[in-house]
């Protein structure tokens, strides 16, 4: 029923998403400690180029 689905959704948002956010913050607490390495296939990366105009 819709009531059960709403209860599941609220529990999922409260518990799973919060734990996921906390784990991510713990794992990426200090990005300056990250190591230079070649990205792995299908890995999401952030590219930082100071001279690139915004939106490109």
34: closest CA among 19, 21, 45? 45
- DSSP state string for 1-56: -HHHHHHHHHHHIIIIIHHHHHHHHHHTS-GGGPPP-PPPTT-------TTSPTT-
Enumerate residue ranges in the chain where pLDDT < 50: none
Tens of pLDDT, residues 25-36:
666 666 665 667
Q: Are residues 39 and 45 in contact, defined by beta-carbon separation less than 8 angstroms?
A: yes
pTM of the model: 0.36
Our CA angle for 14, 17, 23, nearest 5°, is 125
Q: What is the mean pLDDT of the chain?
A: 75
């Amino acid at each position: 029923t819709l009531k059960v689905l709403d209860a599941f959704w609220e529990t999922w948002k409260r518990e799973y998403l919060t734990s996921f956010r906390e784990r991510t913050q713990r794992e990426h607490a200090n990005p300056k400690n990250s190591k230079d390495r070649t990205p792995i296939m299908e890995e999401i990366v952030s590219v930082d180029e100071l001279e690139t105009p915004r939106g490109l």
